[in-house]
Structure 1
């Protein structure tokens, strides 16, 4: 049976990665697809753990070769999901989760309409501003650019199936997990998963 494709998007500073990592710890059957990016690694980031870091030329070569499931320019750098990271796992029946932006989500939904999409919101603009500043990695000009980009990102939340407000972290983790569990219980999947059971239950005596 084909696996589920989950897409999680959020503006920078909404806590998406922390939420996803917490959910994956209690949902080990879901594979996180590691994106490719042409930007340099930030402090604490590791190649093949947080991203596959490649040069702009390498990324463009991969685009030309049709190797990406989706890709977009984010904050001036390329970011994308390789086909090899998604399609074989779905075909093998494994659930896959993509952490991508709204542009990537739109590309994926065009190819896989049944993908389940989740958007994460911060509890307020003040909280978003505070979270960005706590990183201590960016200048004021960069922070303002990221805040503007976050507003643009949030304007596309209507494209998503589910919206989670990340105010109480533990509650948000449980809400995301509930979405994943409920998605696996959709009728079409359950009828395929339990075909013999349903056939037996409905059989004439």
Structure 2
């Protein structure tokens, strides 16, 4: 595996490592399958279990997912989506296949209901995107003048009013509002880049 990029946050790093492992698996690296399993099995097992309603059946479906992955890793296209999304579709399809073939004991949902089973947790992609947005906002705030950074962080992250900020910093209210307004304008430009 290549050296991790020190500028990546944990979510970005996990996504990059998973993409790298998928590429390695596609070129026949058996060790990559273990890394992928470690990174994804809990999420994929949850998908299978929700659809099948039986732990044993979910484990069997999960095994099918990784056998299929080994055989079809070359089909993964990183331009079309994240590895976890692709694997989640794989898991759902394997679980639904087991339902259709009648291999499932009682406790499973009907095949028609499987697509609509809600997962109350945010999707892995949503978590990663939220993390990316947060990292981008913090990066852009870091490009502002120190007094603008301080004013924006204190006002928006701590809930301090402009009047309270102006009093704490010993500046007129209009000056504080101006710092924040100019800082927000620069922040917006940075986020749009």
More strand by share: 1
More helix by share: 2
**What TM bracket, shorter-length normalisation?**
under 0.3
TM-score in terms of structure 2 length: 0.26
TM-score in terms of structure 1 length: 0.25
